Amino acid sequence: MTKVLGKGLGALIKNYNSNIESEEFNPELLIEQIIPNKNQPRKNFDKKQLNSLIESIKEKGIIQPISVRKINDNIFEIIAGERRFRAAKQINLPTIPAYILKIEDSFEMMELALIENIQRSNLNAMEEAEGYLSLKNNYNFSQSEISKKISKSRSEIANKMRLLKLPKNIQQSLINRKIEYGHARALLSIQNKSLINNIHQKIINRKLSVRDTEVLIKKINNPQYKNKTVQNKLTTEEKRLTTYFKSNVKIKLKSKNTGKIEINFNSKKNLNEIIKKITNEKNL
């Protein structure tokens, strides 16, 4: 076996700053000698993405080796690269290229596997949250320590861990990508928690954007927050426009200085007359 380390993994270990003393590279580690990592932070393996990876491996081979640790002379446990390992098994490859790292305990395994997955952006938000929780509960890591290890802000760690407070069905929607991380964060801000499942369903049924969801929840939390029809000083302007267009006109505010004007029409002729007045055309 050759003592060589891939550029990506080398950078990972350097950033990880662990006590790993040496690494080996085996270009043909037997698949039958490899077992999955029980601390793997990734819990969901998308079938479509896995099939795409299988086709890529069939065409180009495995470009990025997996990383493993040696359990004994015949058994190696995956640290990172389980998706590549699963794809290789499905197409009955006898061997797979692998970096063999000297890691002695499950704490380092969990930490390195989590960092590798996050740095490669392979985890969904719920898997990240569960990984952080495991580091906190099983290895007594503070949010600040997790933040330093994976080079993300402490607030980002805290926000991801808050997702674990969501009902299980909403967590599953996030895992299945029916909603986005931004939707989930907005749902956490609902003051009346009895409404959370109702709003969650509205997001899915109406295909609401994250921004639309935030506005909806802001209205629910503060009933006085809404797009109000202009009253008082703007009523005169509505009357002027209604007289000018010979149609009902409403002025609605979105904020102090922004809003929209709604002009109603009741026939094609009425619409043409409104357009002529707006464009200042004599004939349409």
Domains of the chain from N-terminus onward: 7-112 (3.90.1530.10), 123-221 (1.10.10.2830), 232-279 (no CATH)
pLDDT class of 260 with cuts at 50, 70, 90: confident
Q: Reduced to 3 states, what is the DSSP secondary structure of residue 262?
A: strand
What share of the chain has pLDDT > 70, as a percent? 76
- Does 257 or 230 have the greater pLDDT score? 257
40 Rama class: left (phi>0) / alpha (psi -120 to 50) / beta: beta
pLDDT of 12 over the 50 cut:
no
DSSP structural state of residue 151: T
Rounded distance between C-alpha atoms, residue 131 and residue 209, angstroms: 27
* pLDDT at residue 13, as a whole number: 39
- Does 225 or 106 have the greater pLDDT score? 106
Interval 216-229 mean pLDDT = 71
Q: Of 33-42, 141-150, 151-160, 164-173, which has the strongest mean pLDDT?
A: 164-173
Q: Which residues are catalytic?
A: 82
pLDDT class of 231 with cuts at 50, 70, 90: very low
CB-based contact 135:146 (threshold 8 Å): yes
Work out the widest C-alpha separation in the chain, in whole angstroms: 91
Q: Hey, what amino acid is at 280?
A: N
